[in-house]
Amino acid sequence: MIKTKFAYKSYSYLLIALAFLLPIHDRLVAPVIVLIGLVWILELNFAEKWERIRSSKTNSYLMGFGLLFLVYVAGSFYSEHITGKTGALFTLQVKLSLFVFPLLFSTIDVHLLKDNIAHRITKSFVWGSLITSFIILNNAVYQYFIDQSTNVFFYTRLSMKHHPSYLSLLFSFAIIILVNWLITNKQKTDLKRIAAMVLVIYFQVFIILLSSKAGIVGLVLVYISLIIMTILKSHNNIKYVSILITALLAAFVIILIMTPPAYQRFFAAERALESKLQPDSTSIDGSVARMLIWKSSLEIILEHPIIGVGTGDVNYTLLNKYRKHHIVMAEEREYNAHNQYLQTYLGVGLPGFLILIGCLGIALIVAFKHNNLLYLSFILLFAFHILVESMLERQAGVVFYAFFNALLFYFTLEKKPATSES
């Protein structure tokens, strides 16, 4: 058994490191999670851990988020494909964090972690996002001198190995962390506040350069939601908060208008949808491709409306449907459903779909009830982004959601602010 002091010092540094590494590269995240799990096991106080779950309503509620993983476990029993890169075992491995982080935060004594641990974690995430932006910008500048094309500063050319929508989600969350700090630390020095504002604008520019339609619309919706929530909850600084967020939203729209390659993607998508491109085209616009993929997904759901096709059979079933409807690009690139709600329903049916909706709904209710703008924004961002991407099909997306959802849920119910320190 390792000593308690060593265990909690390890937990603290590993959680901070995990938040920092999440935006940088998903391959760096897995070893940190393994180390966290190793410390958890080597504490050898399983009876004490169980007692923490049993005796605390917060911890019991937190464990409820692990149901989503358990339903995927159940779905593996009627899957035909157990092994392989999209089989049941691999899918369970990817989604394991859905259970790990609720279990971790509900079984450790969070009070023994470093002071202001939630603030340290969110601050570390912002730093990690900033480092990531420097990396991709440096790569874009390097590519520009080779290709002599400004395209390297936009969309997939800019995001490197990250998907633009995923990176936009991370940068949007970094923005919300900074905005929440500005709201809750109105009394801080002008220099720190100016630095935070500059970082918000900086990340907004990156979201526009990434040109993800979901990223752009998602951030606008969250800004609007924050203003509405501030009014509904009669926030103490209602005038200040409304002016701050309105100014940031206006700046975001102005930057977008000044960046034609970004906003023109919306018009390109509209034209593509109106042109009724044939599904056998190898160069379908992303929005058209999603419509065809969603149509195929809904057909499969109607064929398997109760329990789905099984945890490991989703991609195989989708590929067969793409082949049947001659959706060449989707078949060649082996696209998933590009919608996590549909993806979950396809795999584990109505129970999984309802649990996913329930997890997001309960989180929203808790965040709204406790007036936690950070948690509310996180859930709104994630819930919107998974409308157009199956983000729980990649380890990076799973870890991002499971980790911050467990962290923010715990500290919301415990009424401990996540970013109230300098």
User: How confident is the model over 2-11, as a mean pLDDT?
Assistant: 92
Query: What is the full DSSP assignment across 322-351?
Result: HHHTT-HHHHHTT---S-HHHHHHHHHHHH
Residue with tokens 């938040």: 19
Torsion of CA 405, 220, 209, 184, to 10 degrees: -60
Dist. CA 29–CA 23, nearest whole Å: 9
Which tokens in the block code for residue 51?
A: 């007692």
Asked whether residue 272 carries a pLDDT value surpassing 60, the answer given is: no
User: How confident is the model over 276-291, as a mean pLDDT?
Assistant: 65
Residues 130 and 250 grouped into a single domain:
yes
Q: Residue 404: in which H helix or E strand, if any? A: helix 395-413
Dist. CA 118–CA 124, nearest whole Å: 10
pLDDT at 198: 94
Boundary-marking domain end, from 209, 231, 260: 260
Confidence band of 270 (pLDDT split at 50, 70, 90): low
pLDDT tens readout for residues 355-413: 999 999 999 999 999 989 999 999 999 999 999 999 999 988 999 999 999 999 999 99
Dist. CA 272–CA 208, nearest whole Å: 21
Dist. CA 206–CA 303, nearest whole Å: 42
Percentage of residues of the chain with pLDDT beyond 90: 68
Residues 180 and 50 grouped into a single domain:
no
Confidence band of 85 (pLDDT split at 50, 70, 90): confident
Whether 25 is covered by a domain: the verdict is no
Asked whether residue 275 carries a pLDDT value surpassing 80, the answer given is: no
Residues 307 and 397 grouped into a single domain:
yes
- 234-238, 279-283, 319-323 — most confident range: 319-323
Residues 293 and 211 grouped into a single domain:
no
For residue 66, what is the DSSP state?
G
Confidence band of 268 (pLDDT split at 50, 70, 90): low
pLDDT at 189: 72
| Higher-scoring residue by pLDDT: 212, 41 | 41
Asked whether residue 49 carries a pLDDT value surpassing 70, the answer given is: yes
Whether 13 is covered by a domain: the verdict is no
What percent helix, strand, coil does the chain show, rounded to 5?
75, 0, 25
Helix and strand counts by DSSP (H, E) for the chain: 20, 0
Domain range for 295: 45-113+276-422
pLDDT at 228: 86
Contact 340, 394 (CB under 8 A): no
Torsion of CA 375, 172, 71, 343, to 10 degrees: 140
Average pLDDT, the chain: 89
Dist. CA 63–CA 321, nearest whole Å: 36
Confidence band of 157 (pLDDT split at 50, 70, 90): confident
Residues 246 and 385 grouped into a single domain:
no
Residues 375 and 289 grouped into a single domain:
yes
Whether 284 is covered by a domain: the verdict is yes
Residues 247 and 281 grouped into a single domain:
no
pLDDT at 338: 92
Asked whether residue 184 carries a pLDDT value surpassing 90, the answer given is: no
Confidence band of 333 (pLDDT split at 50, 70, 90): confident
Which tokens in the block code for residue 24?
A: 């940088």
pLDDT tens readout for residues 158-178: 888 788 899 999 999 999 999
Asked whether residue 276 carries a pLDDT value surpassing 70, the answer given is: no
pLDDT at 234: 63
- The total number of structural domains in the chain stands at 2
Of 34, 29, 145, 54, nearest in space to 100 by CA? 34
User: How confident is the model over 272-284, as a mean pLDDT?
Assistant: 56
Asked whether residue 218 carries a pLDDT value surpassing 70, the answer given is: yes
Whether 35 is covered by a domain: the verdict is no
Confidence band of 269 (pLDDT split at 50, 70, 90): low
Residues 152 and 248 grouped into a single domain:
yes
Residues 61 and 103 grouped into a single domain:
yes
C-alpha pair distances (Å), 292 with each of 90, 315, 319, 336: 26, 15, 12, 12
pLDDT at 46: 92
